[in-house]
Amino acid sequence: MSQSKKTPNRPPVFSIIGSGSWATALLKILEHNGYQVKWWIRQNQDLESIQEHQRNPKYMGSLAIDLSKVTLTNQIKEAVQDADIVLLAVPSFFLENALRGLSKKDLKNKLVVSTIKGIIPSGHQLVTDYLNSHFGVLYENLVVLSGPSHAEEVAYGRMTYLTIGSHSKANSDQLCHVFKTDYLNFKTSEDITGIEYTAVFKNIYAIISGISNSMGYGDNFQAVLVNNALKELAQMLDAFTSSSRNIMDSVYMGDLLVTAYSQFSRNRTFGNMLGKGYSKKAALMEMNMVPEGYYAVQPAYELVEENNVNAPIVAAAFRIIHENISPGIEIRILEDKLE
C-alpha cells in the first residue's frame, strides 16, 4: 500500500467524497464491515438532514444509515485528514470543484480510489490522470472501482461483481479484503485506463439505447445495437491504450449491458426522455440526477476523431446532443450502419 501513517495493526480510516447514491452505497459497505468513515457532504442542509434522520433523503431515502462510526463534515480538508483511503464518488464534472480546497500535501501518501464513471470536462482527462497531474498522486496509489453495478442494488445488499483496477497488487488485495461482503465479489486488473474509458463510453451507448427503446425499437434491435457498441468499444480501447484485455470480462461487457438495459440506469433514462421528445434541458431538470454520458459525449467524440476510430454510435450521440439533430433521424441512420 501507499506509505501512509497507518500502523500495521490499525484498520484503515476511510474518507468518502460525495453524498449521492454511490457515496451512500459505499458507506453501507464500510458500515457493514465496521470501518471508521469521514463523509464529506457539500451542502450543510443535506449534512444536517442525514445527521437528524439517519438516512440520506435525496438518495435511497428508505435506507437506514448507522452513523456510529461516521464523522460528517462539509469541510474537504477535514474529510481527508487522517484518512488512509479516499473514495471519490462525485460526478466527474464536479470533481475539480469538490477538491478545490485541497493541496498536493493533503493527498500525499493516501490511497485514492475513484468510483467515478466519467471524464474531467475541462481538460478531457481521465480521473486518474487528473489526480496524478494536479495533486501528484502516484499512479501506484490510484485505484479504480468499477463493473456492472448500480448503487441501489449494492446499497440493498444484492449480489454484485466488481473489478478493482490498480498497478499495485498490494493495494488491490487490501481493497478486496476491506470491501468484501457476502454480497460483493471482486477480481483485480491492471488495465486501469481501459476500465476508465469503458466507464465513460458505456454511458454514451446507454443514452442511444434509451432513445431507441422509447422510439419503439424492440429487443431485436436493442441486442444488435449493444453488440455493435461492444465491438465499437473494443476498437476504441485498442486505439487508446497499450494494455491487452478480454472485452468479454464483466468490467467491460457486463458494465455496458447493465447500463444499456437496466431500469436504474440514469443514462438510459435520459435517452428514453430524449426519444420521447424532451429537450436536453427539460430531461435533465426532470431527472434531477446526473447522467454522466451527457457530459462525456463531446470529449469522447473528440477523442474518437483524434484517433481516427470508426464509432458511428458515439457520433450519433454527439450529433443528437451537441448538434441538435433529431434522435429519430440519427437512429434511422444507425439502422444502416449496424450489423
**Active-site residue numbers?**
202
Q: Which residue has the cell 449494492?
A: 154
CA distance 153 to 275: 26
Cα 32 from chain centre:
22
3-state secondary structure of 63: coil
Report how far apart, in Å, the C-alpha atoms of 253 and of each of 50, 60, 214, 250, 277 are: 36, 27, 23, 5, 29
For the record, the C-alpha cell of 159 comes out as: 449480489
Dump the DSSP string for 66-131: --TTEEEES-HHHHHTT-SEEEE-S-GGGHHHHTTT--HHHHTT-EEEE---S-BTTTTB-HHHHH
Report how far apart, in Å, the C-alpha atoms of 252 and of each of 25, 37, 162, 181, 196 are: 21, 30, 11, 23, 10
| Sign, CA torsion 141/67/53/63 | positive
Are the CB atoms for 131 and 137 separated by under 8 Å?
yes
Residues in the chain: 339
CA distance 44 to 245: 43
